[in-house]
Structure 1
Amino acid sequence: MFRLLYVLLLTLLVAFGQRCTLTPSGGDDGPQFLAAAASCDTVVIPVGEEFNIATRMNMTGLTNTHINLEGTIRFQPDISYWTGNAFFFDFQDSITFWLLGGENIVLSGSGTLDGAGQAWYDAFASNSSLLRPIILTVYQAKNALVEDIHMVNSPMWFNLVYESNNVTYSNINITAVSTSKNTIANTDGWDIYRSDTVVIRDSTILNGDDCVSFKPNTTNVLVSNLSCNGSHGVSVGSLGQYAGIFDIVENITATDISMSNAENGARIKAWAGSDVGSGIVKNITFANFEVSNVDNPIVIDQCYETSSSQCSEFPSNTFIEDVWFNDVFGTSSGATVASLECSPDDRCSNINVNDLNLKAGKGTAKYECQNIVLSGNSVDLFPDCTET
């Protein structure tokens, strides 16, 4: 109830004041869009119009601003420009077209953000080091609402929440599809980093990587009522990637999720090896997950992107505790329906599995585990999990 009142108040707060309706220029519409956001309380991108963005947009420091996106914003696929001029973050060498930040911001209107990703998908196929932009980064924002938006063909992640607080996404439709032989890659729906109190709800995602990923220092997040197709799962992590850095992911709930044709369902992933960081994953709940044709419906992987020999010699320094997998049901693509692979020396604790009803797509259902003692009422499904 409090969250609904907050969203209503935020919408009303930015609904009054100077209203500016933009007209496509026929060239780069980025400068006029930036100028309008700086001076107008409401900026309207009219229905039926397409606005071409050919230069990066820094819309940080806004206050009480409503961007009413009824038409289309399309980011010009000028690869040479964006690779040299998009906003850069050290974290995982990410870049972005658009920084949106400040206090009391609404982006809504049933319009479309188009990343024009096909040129990027084709270029990345022959250059795996190519940095590709994120469509929208909510950056250093407080009280932000993004709702009723279509997002198509991002070159990289669709959404990054970076150093922000109290951000809500509602009724977002995400689609990434390649029209050539080159596949899409790294098209996460949402990545959350160094942010607190985030809600993602009532949305549909068709992509080629994580549906939602909780990156380092993400706390107090609710993800609910998502339909994810073709993804890598709803994922905590990956964590512990960078030496000398301590990562925290805490108080996460992902509930009422439909996951189909995916690599993973509910997942936690952390790095191991000789030159990695450390961290804590605590109080994580995955509940009411329906899976269909999913390779690994339930996953804990403390050897992420690490060889088995390195993982054995240098276990993960990211500790995982107080985790619940509740009411996960449906069918995997193969025999494995759950894989809980922890590092030795009690790096996983209080892992609970309850009310699982998972069937193998092929063969007999396998529940795999390593270095873990389970709690919950499905312990008997994991006969080897008492060994640590």
Structure 2
Amino acid sequence: MQPMTKYHSHGNKSFQGENDILGSNLCSFGALEQAKKGKDPVIRVRNINVPAGRTLDFQGLDGRTIEFHGRVTFGYKEWSGHLIIIKGKNINVKGMPGHLIDGEGHRWWDKCGGNCGKKKPFLIYTQLEHSTVTGLRIKNTPAWCFAINECTNVHYSDIDIDNRDGHTKGGHNTDGFDVHKSRNIRIYNSKVNNQDDCLAINSGWDIVFENNVCEGGHGIAVAVGGYDVNEAKNILIKNCKVIKNNIGVRVKTLLNGKGIVDGVTFDNVELKDISEVGIVIIGNYLNSGPRGEPTGGIPIKNLNINNVRGNVLGNGTNIQINVAPGSPSGWIWKSQVKGGKKNPNCKGTPGNLNNPCNW
């Protein structure tokens, strides 16, 4: 007997509760290429297991909608590729009720992340234009979750990245959203529970991160330097909560790097139970940690800290500033971070501003 196909086209009515939009029901990894060749406006991904070392590759789908239904899982392999790639223009990605993208990251977790140990894949790589990604439910990524790379005019909303199991099972470098060389990006109404940056902007322009909750990780970061483009301009982080992270919010530039950070605003950000430092602004960042005297090759201009408030735990530090004297300019600062300790060694605050470490 011939095996039954798991690719159903043109609005298969065997799935109850669907709307009447024509679409392809993708129920096996092997049917992906056939679905991509079709012209149905909607591809519905249903309960797929992606073979080890393979990518669920959504390219060549301009103008179409990708819906996730049921549970998506992945075979285990130590490799540095991407488990899902979504690339194109005018694409709408939707997570439907009851779905889950489950990375089962505990199979890779070894407390090393991308620094050592097992090779770990990125979960989702996006390179999109004029598109939306909404409603995704993601659990236990092997390491990094979203790569937002060379994207333009894209909204990411109502996304839940749940890596809380990694707190006790060895998760590391489980970044929520990593942004690079992207323009006019908005990430909003989302939650991240992880063991690294909730948001890390390495480079980009006109980026908004709004109404998001970050829990358990390393805070919200603008981290510039060490890439082919080292420029972050017009960044707004607004109406967010950072809960039980080691860092609250930070701007960090690479030691001996070249580039610019201009127009970063943290507005109405609530910090709760931060363990190490509430607000960090440094110019001597290295992957292994801050080191040496800061350099001014990536000046931090027009930084606005507005109503960043909350508490740092007893052994933590409220504010850390260490930038090259004369390199920053145009800062505005209004914060109220309680608890912890004041840092008497803040350096490089621009002349227009009284040192906030002494407030």
TM range (shorter): 0.7 to 0.9
Are the counterparts in 2 of residues 30 and 56 from structure 1 also a CA contact under 8 Å?
no
Are the counterparts in 1 of residues 145 and 174 from structure 2 also a CA contact under 8 Å?
yes
> Is structure 2 residue 213 aligned with structure 1 residue 240?
no
**How do 1:71-220 residues align onto structure 2 when only pairs under 5 Å count?**
71-79=70-78, 82-83=79-80, 86=81, 96-108=82-94, 109-110=96-97, 111-122=99-110, 124=112, 128=116, 130-139=118-127, 141-178=128-165, 182-216=169-203, 218-220=204-206
Change in CA separation of 1:324 and 1:117 when aligned onto 2, cut-off 3 Å: same
Quick one: distance in 2 between partners of 1:114 and 1:232? 22
TM-score by length of 1: 0.79
Q: 1:373 aligns with which of 346, 350, 355?
A: 350
**For this pair of structures, how many residues does the alignment match?**
334
Q: 1:256 aligns with which of 224, 231, 239?
A: 239
Name 1:303's counterpart in structure 2. Answer: 284
Quick one: distance in 1 between partners of 2:289 and 2:66? 49
Shift in Å, 1:31: 3.0
Between 260-269 and 57-66, report the one with greater CA deviation.
57-66
**How do 1:27-46 residues align onto structure 2 when only pairs under 5 Å count?**
29-39=28-38, 40-46=40-46
Structure 2 unmatched ranges of 5 or more = 1-18
Are the counterparts in 2 of residues 208 and 231 from structure 1 also a CA contact under 8 Å?
yes
Quick one: distance in 1 between partners of 2:277 and 2:154? 30
Q: 1:269 aligns with which of 223, 231, 252?
A: 252
Partner letter of residue 142 of structure 1?
Answer: E
Change in CA separation of 1:77 and 1:197 when aligned onto 2, cut-off 3 Å: same
Name 2:14's counterpart in structure 1. Answer: none
Are the counterparts in 2 of residues 254 and 285 from structure 1 also a CA contact under 8 Å?
yes
Are the counterparts in 2 of residues 271 and 316 from structure 1 also a CA contact under 8 Å?
no
Quick one: distance in 2 between partners of 1:156 and 1:240? 21
Partner letter of residue 116 of structure 1?
Answer: E
Shift in Å, 1:189: 0.6
Shift in Å, 1:304: 0.9
Shift in Å, 1:41: 1.6
Q: Which has the higher helix share?
A: 1
Are the counterparts in 1 of residues 36 and 60 from structure 2 also a CA contact under 8 Å?
no
Structure 1 unmatched ranges of 5 or more = 1-14, 24-28, 87-95
Are the counterparts in 1 of residues 140 and 166 from structure 2 also a CA contact under 8 Å?
no
Quick one: distance in 2 between partners of 1:330 and 1:126? 31
